[in-house]
Structure 1
Amino acid sequence: MRTFVALTIAFVTAVIPVYGQAGIAATPPMGWNSWNHFAGHVTDADVRAAADELVSTGMRDAGYVYVNVDDTWQGKRDADGVLHPNDRFPDMKALGDYIHSKGLKFGIYSSPGAKTCGGYEGSLGHEAQDAKMYAAWGVDFLKYDLCSFQDNMHKAEAEHPDDPNAANALMVAAYKKMGDALKATGRPIVYSLCQYGVDQPWKWGPGLGANMWRTTDDINDTYGRMIAIGFSQAGLAKYAGPGHWNDPDMLEVGNGGMTEDEYKTHMSLWVLLAAPLLAGNDLTKMSEADKSILMNKEAIAIDQDALGKQGDRLYESGDLDVWTKPLSGGRVAVGLFNRSWSVRDVSVDLEKIGFKGNAKVWNVWQGKDMGRRSGVYTSRIPKHGVTLLVVSK
């Protein structure tokens, strides 16, 4: 196992400049995923309805193009090892065709383990077979969730107690196997690693052909969980760029567990992080506030900026945070965050982010030109709220 670990590390080091297949995920992927709202009850009809709503609401035109079926679509494998969908998904190829007919892209879910998180069939031992099947269905995105493969990792730890890298090396090899299988199909498929940040995937994920990788455990529709995940991303900016993105998990906007200000904080933080934007709500029941947050063109433009830079924390003072993200054209996006339970003033020194003298300040959520500013810019922010700015010369 020690030799295997060394070879794995050598492999990753050798190929880390290669970011998946050329042209895939040049900006952070955007779309919709079934899990946050529908979880294990999702059906073919739910997914088709989501595709319809992405078009009719304007979300597709705003950039949300991936329609991703998460866990629990799987049925059983036949005698030849072919995995068939369950009765909630009568024809996956037809579903993919429907999604494509809407000008959208089709995403799916599996696991390197024998079982998925929901206890359905995983891809262990069937990686090449499944990858070919996905390509035949017209799949454009694969979320590959660690799940039961953790049992294999625990076994490796027990069998090699003197080798602290045994389990993680086994995991890396499993993700490499599917990455190779996807590449071999010849179809451009976004490869999304979902293994909760185990063993710092931002360091080795690109070398396996991954386009994005989870940096945290699962999000949920609460302010506390959302900010714990979002603000934990400080320091990871250098690992993101065109074709390879840090993923702090999907969006909860519209699921009802947070206030409008808290959802604006959620969206602001994710766009500053250049995170994949995968809506996780019931698109058929969106409020106008939900739509205004998810489809704010200027917020999306920060996330999708061609420079491809992830933002990072500028400074933190108690419950107040200031984050910045470099943008094309010498602009800078700035997030002023108030994590406290009362209205607070949050400030940023414009000179410290590269703007000496007058700078133009635009308030994204207000859609308002704040005029020419210099020195310290201060904004009064409600509890759990945010001011999202774009500053330019």
Structure 2
Amino acid sequence: MDLLQDLTWRGIIYQQTDEEGLKDVLSKESISLYCGVDPTADSMHIGHLLPFLTLRRFQQHGHRPLVLVGGATGLIGDPSGKSEERKLLTLETVQDNVAGIKQQLETIFEFEGENGAIMVNNYDWAGKMDVVTFLRDIGKHIGVNYMLAKDTIATRLETGISFTEFTYTILQAMDFNHLYDHHNCKLQIGGSDQWGNITSGLELIRKTHTEDTKAFGLTIPLVTKSDGTKFGKTESGAVWLDPEKTTPYEFYQFWINTADADVVRYLKIFTFLSHEEIEQLEQSVQEEPHLRKAQKALAEEITRLIHGEESLQQAIKISQALFSGDVKNLSAAEIKQGFKDVPSFDAGEEDGNLVDLLVAAKISPSKRQAREDITNGAVTINGEKITDTSYVLQENDRIEGQFTIIRRGKKKYTLIKY
């Protein structure tokens, strides 16, 4: 099975500008191709992943990926999917965001070897261009009527669009043209919302080169969930690639909680598992869904890719400890991850009577209830059941001197901080 057949099997291809032409080129030569992201934040989220993972699939088949971070286009703002103008970011903010995103992209691609990835920033060429050169050498080739027909612009005409955002598609077209000239880039890939920008690039290449010029565009479908809710969102917000925003444990938990109805599709598009491996996992979903083998494979593969083996093993360890209630062997760093969103209470420096602590931390509503909870065996300290109502917490109840984990019942955790 060749690359395009594999992408089709995985459900990754949404639109192509010239399916037969691209198929012919890929069968004869290794090409350079690119995908880009605008640094509108200092981290990507999982909604950005699929186009870059697709770019990596091309690299695995011998092609060279050009990984573009839009230091220039990030200063302008893509009107795609927006009903109003974006708030402009400062150059300093965009440059800081570029640095953060580059670091994340470096975990996805191989940068060494014959077809090693190349990281590019469109500020390096667009930022140096004066306005007259832009208007004469670039703008002259893109007609206003052509731009008005683009969905991203047409949908904004009633609510209003600035000249700044109106020209965004030309800037992205300039990227494709520049990469074609300097890196022999013949293909741009992107999300389905980037179709208009991709075809603008092809239009510019066509008008500034000879008739036998060959360049192509390919888009990827929007990732959806079977229940109709938005992919990549949790109750606490977006699932970020930055471990400071979304911890590796939270990242792992997002994927392992994937519904049975979605997991096989996500295995196809987000992992590099073989067809045979995915088909075996699909069979497991159908015959033994309670084992959740597919979800575990999905969570492990993508957490390992983004955060590395050590963070994956840490996430698994935290998950198992929380499931079993045996939390005493977690490190302080692991506790910070696993208990990031649970209720907490600052106990200061003093050791205290357990009954008083349960009430002060609002774990039990009263001293009477606290005593009943303890006597009934409903209270654990760091996974150890306590039934003595006169128990006083000691120094050795503090994990690395920083935390004590109290659980009331099966699921109600509270983090005591010192």
The answer to whether TM tops 0.5 is no
Compute the TM-score of the two structures, normalised by the length of structure 1. Answer: 0.29
Compute the TM-score of the two structures, normalised by the length of structure 2. Answer: 0.27
Higher helix share: 2
Higher strand share: 1
